[in-house]
Amino acid sequence: MTRLDELLQQEAFTDADIVRLLGLTEPDDCERLRRTAYDLTTRFIGDKVHYRGIVEFSNRCTLNCRYCGIRRDNRDLERYDLNREQIIESAIWAAENHYGSVCLQAGERRDESFVAFVEDCIREIRAGTVSEHLPEGASITLSLGAQSSETYQRWREAGGEAECMRYLLRMETSNPALFSRLHPHDFAHEKAYASRIRALENLRAAGFQVGTGGMIGLPGQTLSDLCADIRFYQRLDVDMLGMGPYILSRGGDMRDEGMLDPGPLLQLALNMLAVCRLVLRDVNIAAATALQVLAEDGREQGIAHGANILMPNITPRAVRRRYQLYDDKPCIDEEPTDCRACLAGRIQRMGRRVGWNEWGCSRHFHRRM
C-alpha cells in the first residue's frame, strides 16, 4: 500500500493532508481520490442523485461582485423579472416532471416588495406542487443572498413544514482579504464578510437546511485557502455544498486577471468536490453547472467525484441568455424539457439513479436534528 492509499483510508485529515489531496495532478492519484469519494458517497448517501430545478427569476441585483456577469454596474445587460405566474408555472412544470425540489435564484435585493413577493411565491409553490406523486408538494431551496433574520424567518414559515426549506448562500471564499478584493465596491466590505457569516448562522437558527460553498480557482487563491474553506464548512456544520470553478465573465470586472487553464482548473474543482466528500461525509454536494464550461461531461465528472445533487435549469428559455453569471454558460438555448432528458442520461452513465419525486434531504441535516 502506498502512502496515498493509507491517507485515503483515514477518517480524519490534517490541513497538510487536505492540501496534498487538493493538489493531486498525476492521473493515477486523481483516480484513487475520485474512487474513494465516489464509494463514500454510495456508502453515506446511496446511489441516487436528486434534482433541484432552478428558476433564475430576476437578474436585477443591488450588489457589484467583481466576478459576476449580472453585477449592478454591468450596463450592457437588459434586466428582467419573471412574474409570479411564470415562476409558479416553472415550479409546477418541475413537479409534474417528477422533480421533488425547486430552487429560486435571483440577484440580491432586500426591499420589502421583493421580500413579500418571494414569500408569496413560496406559499403558492408549496400549495401548487401537491400532486398524486408528490403528496407533500415540492421542497424549495432559496438562493437569494444575505438577508435579515426576520426575512429568513418569514420565508421559512411561508414554506410550512420545516423540512422542506433549504437555503444556499455561498461564502465564495473564507479568506477575508480575498473576499474584500472580490467585493470592493461594497464600501463596508469588512462588515460584508462578517455579515455573511452571521447570515449563515441566522439561516440555521431560522430552521433551514443550510448550504454554502465557494468558487474554486479564483485569481490569487491558494490550496491553503481551499483547505481553509473546507474547515469553514466544517465549523459551520453545513448540510449542503454548492461549489464550482471560477470562470471569467465578460460582464464582470476581473477580465484582466485571467483564469486558470481549463484542464488544471477542472481537476482542481473535482479534487475539491472529492475532498469535501471525504471530510464532510454525509452532506449534499451539488455538481455545479459551471463544471460543464470546462468539459462537456463536467457535471458527470462531478457526480463521479462525490456530488449527489444536480440543478437542471428550468428558467424559461426566453430570458436564459440574460442570466449569464459567467461566460459560456451551458443550456442557454435549451428548453427545460431538453435538460430533463439530457441530465437523466448523464446520471445513468455514471452508475447512479435519479431520485424522482423525492425531496432528497441532506442526510447530514437528518442526523443533526
- Which listed range, 148-156, 181-189, 243-251, 333-341, lies at the site for ligand 5AD (CB under 6 A)? 243-251
172 binds ligand 5AD (CB under 6 A): yes
Question: Closest separation between CB of residue 98 and ligand 5AD, Å?
Answer: 25
Taking CB within 5 to 8 Å according to partner kind, which of ligand FES, ligand 5AD, none is near residue 246?
Answer: ligand 5AD
What φ, ψ does residue 52 adopt, rounded to 5°? -125, 105
CA 324 to CA 68: how far, in whole Å?
8
Q: At 145, is the secondary structure helix, strand, or coil?
A: coil
Taking CB within 5 to 8 Å according to partner kind, which of ligand FES, ligand 5AD, none is near residue 339?
Answer: ligand FES
326 binds ligand 5AD (CB under 6 A): yes
Return the number of other C-beta atoms located less than 10 Å from residue 139's C-beta: 27
DSSP 8-class letter at 77: S
Cell representation of residue 167: 437555503
Query: 84-115 burial, b if ≥16 CB within 10 A, otherwise e?
Result: eebbbbbbbbbbebbbbbbbbbbbbbeeeebb
247 binds ligand 5AD (CB under 6 A): yes
Applying CB under 6 A, the residues found at the interface with ligand FES are 331, 334, 338-339, 342-343
* Among positions 53, 211, 244, 360, the unique one binding ligand 5AD when judged by CB under 6 A: 244
Cell representation of residue 19: 492540501
Which of 170, 183, 114, 116 lies closest to 141, judged by CA? 170
Taking CB within 5 to 8 Å according to partner kind, which of ligand 5AD, ligand FES, none is near residue 331?
Answer: ligand FES
329 binds ligand 5AD (CB under 6 A): no
Taking CB within 5 to 8 Å according to partner kind, which of ligand 5AD, ligand FES, none is near residue 326?
Answer: ligand 5AD
Count of residues that bind ligand 5AD according to CB under 6 A? 13
Q: At 214, is the secondary structure helix, strand, or coil?
A: strand
The smaller minimum CB distance to ligand 5AD, of residues 137 and 252, is found at: 252
Neighbouring-strand partners of residue 48: 353
CA 162 to CA 156: how far, in whole Å?
7
Question: Closest separation between CB of residue 211 and ligand 5AD, Å?
Answer: 11
The smaller minimum CB distance to ligand 5AD, of residues 95 and 288, is found at: 288
